[in-house]
């Protein structure tokens, strides 16, 4: 079959590489336009080697539209004369006209156990919500977001300390294997789809920087899940408020939780155990504590929580919260 790959970022790379190594013919790559460094659009803003580079190494034509659904975009796709579109973290919804370009339509490699977590950031939201299982689903594409028939699905455990970036890398490899399996079934006419149960559908919207703000009233375990879910982007953050001084923005990159020894804690309160303490502990909701193991102050390098406290001794009344 003649295949056009459509994807962006590291999640799509293993699938693209698997297609290049497979018996089917990859006739084109459609990927997002080049962006300034730090503004790449991908499911977790990881860029890896880059799909465009991989395509150019194999002399495969590359198409980088701002919107593939325009008449010009559809015309360019028609020039590839594809049998199948293979989509992974492309970042644009595809119109009925785009899907009709390929004789076999399109399939999507989606990083969740659909119908849960339909949307742009399924891995992050699964971790954020404390899920212990996730996986990859290959679906027949439709004009509705992640709502097509399921052609293959496989689950994996979410490791207790896994960040969204780490977990997405695992799922990317799994997705590439399942994609090849489904493509071979489509080619042989043996592919069978299973409809999704709409009543079980949940959303996984695109992340914004604002999603990183820590809510200290939540249970500490939930906050630690939040910290893992926001890695590598947008990164969890909070502000250290001190009397008569400007607030300091802190990026929190690693944390663990524990039960407080007393219920007399106010969420966001910095715990002061002793003058020589090297543990950066913060009160959270329901009588729990978060220990910040690693952070990055605004404009500074990443460091351990204890190292940050050295020379920045918190005072009674200091607290963490929104700006």
List the chain domain ranges: 2-200, 209-321
pLDDT of residue 34: 86
* pLDDT of 39 higher than 70: no
Question: Please, which pLDDT band fits residue 312 given cuts at 50, 70 and 90?
Answer: confident
Domain with residues 209-321, CATH architecture: Roll (3.10)
How many Cα atoms occupy the beta-carbon half-sphere of 33 within 13 Å? Answer: 6
Q: What proportion of the chain, given as a percentage, has pLDDT over 90?
A: 85
| pLDDT tier for residue 317 given thresholds of 50, 70 and 90 | confident
pLDDT tens digit sequence for 125-178: 999 999 999 999 999 999 999 999 999 999 999 999 999 999 999 999 999 999
pLDDT by residue (tens digit) across 237-249?
Answer: 999 999 888 999 9
Closest Cα partner for 254 from 271, 272, 232, 274? Answer: 232
Over the stretch 76-126, which tens digit does the pLDDT of each residue have?
Answer: 999 999 999 999 999 999 999 999 999 999 999 999 999 999 999 999 999
pTM: 0.93
Better-scored residue on pLDDT, 114 or 263: 114
Q: How far apart are CA 39 and CA 49, in angstroms?
A: 16
Higher pLDDT, 312 or 234: 234
Q: How confident is the model at residue 48 (pLDDT cuts 50, 70, 90)?
A: low
Residue 42: partners with Cβ closer than 8 Å, 6 or more residues away: 8, 9, 10, 11, 32, 89, 91
3-state class of 262 per DSSP? coil
Specify whether the CB–CB gap between 121 and 204 falls below 8 A.
Answer: yes
The confidence band for 45, taking pLDDT boundaries of 50, 70 and 90, is very low
Any idea which architecture 2-200 has in CATH?
3-Layer(aba) Sandwich (3.40)
Query: For residue 153, what is the enclosing H or E element?
Result: strand 150-157
Percentage, residues of the chain above pLDDT 70: 93
* Cα separation, 108 vs 139, whole angstroms: 5
Residue-averaged pLDDT of the chain: 93
Q: Note the pLDDT tens digit of each residue in 172-229.
A: 999 999 999 999 999 999 999 999 999 999 999 999 999 999 999 999 999 999 999 9
pLDDT value, residue 66:
95
pLDDT of residue 47: 55
pLDDT attached to residue 43: 46
Strand segments (E) across 183-268: 236-242, 245-259
- Whether the pLDDT of residue 46 is over 60: the answer is no
Q: What is the pLDDT of residue 152?
A: 98
- Rounded mean pLDDT, 14-26: 97
């Amino acid at each position: 079959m003649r295949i056009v790959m459509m994807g962006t970022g590291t999640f799509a790379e293993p699938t693209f590489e698997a297609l290049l190594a497979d018996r089917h013919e990859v006739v084109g790559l459609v990927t997002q336009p080049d962006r300034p460094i730090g503004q790449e659009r991908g499911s977790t803003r990881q860029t890896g080697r880059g799909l465009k580079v991989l395509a150019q190494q194999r002399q495969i034509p590359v198409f980088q539209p701002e919107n593939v659904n325009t008449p010009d975009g559809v015309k360019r796709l028609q020039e590839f004369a594809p049998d199948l579109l293979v989509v992974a973290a492309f970042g644009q919804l595809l119109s009925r006209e785009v899907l009709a370009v390929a004789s076999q339509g399109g399939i999507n490699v989606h990083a969740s156990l659909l119908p849960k977590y339909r949307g742009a950031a399924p891995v992050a939201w699964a971790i954020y919500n404390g899920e212990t299982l996730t996986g990859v689903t290959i679906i027949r594409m439709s004009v509705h977001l992640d709502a097509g028939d399921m052609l293959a699905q496989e689950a994996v455990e979410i490791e207790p300390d896994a960040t969204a970036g780490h977990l997405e890398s695992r799922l990317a490899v799994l997705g590439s294997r399942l994609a090849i399996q489904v493509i071979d079934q489509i080619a042989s006419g043996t592919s069978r789809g299973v409809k999704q149960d709409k009543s079980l559908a949940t959303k996984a919207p695109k992340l914004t920087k604002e999603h990183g703000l820590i809510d200290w009233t939540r249970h500490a375990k939930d906050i630690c899940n939040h910290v893992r879910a926001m890695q590598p982007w947008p990164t969890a953050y909070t502000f250290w408020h001190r009397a008569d001084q400007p607030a300091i923005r802190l990026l929190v990159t690693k944390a663990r939780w524990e039960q407080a020894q007393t219920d007399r804690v106010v969420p966001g309160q910095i715990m002061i155990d002793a003058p020589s303490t090297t543990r950066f502990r913060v009160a959270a909701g329901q009588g729990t504590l978060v220990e910040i193991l690693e952070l990055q102050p605004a404009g500074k390098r990443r460091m351990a929580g204890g190292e940050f406290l050295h020379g920045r001794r918190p005072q009674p009344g200091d607290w963490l919260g929104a700006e």
